[in-house]
């Protein structure tokens, strides 16, 4: 059972999402929060697997709340799925950098929300839509002196670099396997090694690193 916490400042949104997710046999809504500070408190108390985090909330916005949650020293931290009304909201850039596993537009179809929660809970990242790739590419093009250096990728094998480049372009494991003419299980193994070597939580962070180090150019 996937435990979900819903954080949004609009009661109708919380109730609507709650009813939708609760109707799924494998999803359990364990609580909700009306602002970022409450989201952090409730997440630590209820220990959800996934937090649906609205970007614009009072007291503490979704970005700050995500940083607090994912910066926690606890071994088990929830996956954060950022909810936003705007596909190029500045907060989304920073949420991905803070460790969020992806984002979803609030007007997405109900089936997409259910799918997104399952994908994120499984440890994957919601990065397939073209809008997400464009967002990250634009984000990576912004100057930032804290960016990782290309030398950070030195520990990867040539094949792992190939896989990371394809991850950054939004390819699924099956698509990467087809591109490289290898088994999908082999791709999964490569992805696991990439995340371990670069000390990353999931594919979302891998995409950010690929762009920030220049492995993939913005707009590619």
Contact 155, 194 (CB under 8 A): no
Cβ atoms of 51 and 43 within 8 Å: the answer is yes
Residue ranges making up the domain that contains 200: 144-212
d(CA 80, CA 72): 13
Rounded CA Rg of the chain: 17
Number of structural domains the chain divides into: 2
The tens digit of pLDDT for each residue in 82-92 reads 887 765 556 66
Same domain, 111 and 154: no
Residues 47 and 92 occupy one common structural domain: yes
Does the pLDDT value for residue 128 go beyond 50? no
* Other CB atoms within 10 Å distance of the CB of residue 202: 21
Question: How far is C-alpha 44 from the chain's CA centre?
Answer: 19
81-126 pLDDT, tens digit each: 988 776 555 666 677 777 888 888 888 889 989 988 998 888 777 6
Final residue in a domain of this structure, among 126, 154, 185: 126
Q: In this structure, is residue 19 part of a structural domain?
A: yes
């Amino acid at each position: 059972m996937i435990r979900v916490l819903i954080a949004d400042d609009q009661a109708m949104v919380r109730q609507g999402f709650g009813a939708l997710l609760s109707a799924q046999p494998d999803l359990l809504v364990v609580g909700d929060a009306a602002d970022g500070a409450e989201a952090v408190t409730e997440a630590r108390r209820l220990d959800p697997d996934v937090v649906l985090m609205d970007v614009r909330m009072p007291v503490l916005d979704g970005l700050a709340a995500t940083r607090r949650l994912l910066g926690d020293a606890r071994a088990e931290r929830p996956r954060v799925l950022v909810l936003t009304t705007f596909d190029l909201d500045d907060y989304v850039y920073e949420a991905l950098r803070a460790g969020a596993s992806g984002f979803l537009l609030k007007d997405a179809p109900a089936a997409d929300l259910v799918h997104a929660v399952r994908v994120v809970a499984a440890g994957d990242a919601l990065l397939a839509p073209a809008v997400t790739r464009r967002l990250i590419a634009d984000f990576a093009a912004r100057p930032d002196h804290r960016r990782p250096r290309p030398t950070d990728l030195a520990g990867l094998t040539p094949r792992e670099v190939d896989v990371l480049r394809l991850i950054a372009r939004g390819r699924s494991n099956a698509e990467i396997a087809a591109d490289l003419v290898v088994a999908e299980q082999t791709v999964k193994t490569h992805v696991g090694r990439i995340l371990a070597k670069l000390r990353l939580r999931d594919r979302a962070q891998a995409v950010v690193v690929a762009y920030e180090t220049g492995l993939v150019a913005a707009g590619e």
